[in-house]
Amino acid sequence: MAVAEAPLSRQQSAAPRGLGQRLVPAVCDVSVTNMCNATCNFCSYAHDKGIVKDRRWVDRDRLREAMAILHRRGVRYINYQGGEPLLHPKIDLMVSDARDNGLQPAMITNGWLLPEKIERVVKAGLGTLLVSLDSDSVAKHEENRGLKGVCERIRKGVKIARDNGVTAISVVTVNHLVNFEKLPELLKDLGFDAVSFSYPRKEPFGSSSLVYSDDCDLVDYTPDQLIAAMESIKALKAKFPVMNPSASLEDVKRSARGEEQLIGCVGGRKYFYLDWNLQIWRCEAWHEPLGSVFDLDTIPDRRDRCTACIQNCYRDTSVLMHAGVAVGDALSEAGAGHLGAAASRLFQRGVATSLGAVMEESGIIRRLARAKPKQAANA
């Protein structure tokens, strides 16, 4: 199931990034704090678990310095997370910093502080709002979060965001509190444009990330249960916009069956994780950082086709990027006179599947664009 990291060859570490980098922009998730005000059962950031003892906040000025380096590496999309990112007192300024450095900012939140902070964050330039949801039931969601009344606060925040032209996506962890057939009712009631599912994880991450819980039954799935959940998500696509490509759901099913996933991860090449210490990681699941973000210019791409996890942000993004990365590599090889290598890039495994996923998601994005309200003048 897992593919170990292979040593980088001279060709891999020195491979040209120019054209391929421009063709497929990279993404960086930034954990701005390890603090959280919620008590989610399946997350180790939960404040009642006592795991977080050393409270950390990313330094806004240093992060702003690092954005130029991220931009040079091809990063064009940045997602603020935590912990709970709205707890950071300078979150709106960091959103503005991203825009000033040519990055499109998104943010994932539990939603409790949305009524107080969403207007400032939207005015700073937020592009996409992602809000966590754990169940089709308001009562079950709020009990798991330890935030009674949070759904009404989410509703208010999502409305403000959408009234200002910001796309609002619910992020639902696959867990046993979710009835997939009933979920669209709550998603529509809260005002979401779309939903993205986060695949369940119990194992600790190797990185500083704490988005897991090794003692939570809610994300304890047998292979058959996980496969059934993926089928339920595929069926949901007929009722509500789902951002997880069908090809990605199939790769999760392969993983559950102990088979090799079709498409390797782009973590460490087109997707990065940056923590509050400004350490850059190939992904949240990896066991050691690549180094300081300020050394990123000298850190080579990771091209080892890792399939060690099913974390959704990497799995889904890898499926969508695979074809574009292959085309970029082929163009770089052709430009260097390596025509045979260029052709092999285009005919590698998964390219056709990736193209199909891109077409599937482009249809959803077009639907969201048609439904998007007019941008407010003060946004």
pLDDT given at position 245: 95
Longest CA–CA span in the chain (Å) reads 62
pLDDT given at position 287: 86
Region of 111 please: left (phi>0), alpha (psi -120 to 50) or beta.
Answer: left
Three-state secondary-structure class, residue 197: strand
pLDDT given at position 12: 38
Residue span of the structural domain in which 37 resides: 10-371
Residue 114 domain-assigned (yes or no): yes
Residue 144 domain-assigned (yes or no): yes
Residue 376 domain-assigned (yes or no): no
What does the pLDDT look like over 182-212, one tens digit per residue? 999 999 999 999 999 999 876 666 777 777 7
pLDDT given at position 133: 97
CATH number at residue 14: 3.20.20.70
Q: Decide if 28 contacts 77 (C-beta within 8 A).
A: yes
Residue 115 domain-assigned (yes or no): yes
Q: Decide if 67 contacts 97 (C-beta within 8 A).
A: yes
Whole-model pTM?
Answer: 0.89
Q: How far apart are CA 280 and CA 303, in angstroms?
A: 16
pLDDT given at position 16: 46
Structure tokens at 326: 């292959």
Residue 164 domain-assigned (yes or no): yes
Count of domains forming the chain: 1
Structure tokens at 28: 């960086």
Residue 176 domain-assigned (yes or no): yes
Give me the DSSP letters along 282-339: S-TT-SS--EEGGGGGGSPPP-S---S---HHHHHHHHHHHHHHHHHHHHHHHHTT-H
Structure tokens at 362: 């482009």
Give me the DSSP letters along 14-36: T---HHHHHHS-EEEEEE-BS--
Residues lower than pLDDT 70 in the chain: 1-22, 46, 202-205, 369-379
Residue whose C-alpha is closest to residue 318's, from 333, 331, 302: 302
pLDDT given at position 39: 82
Q: How far apart are CA 257 and CA 260, in angstroms?
A: 9
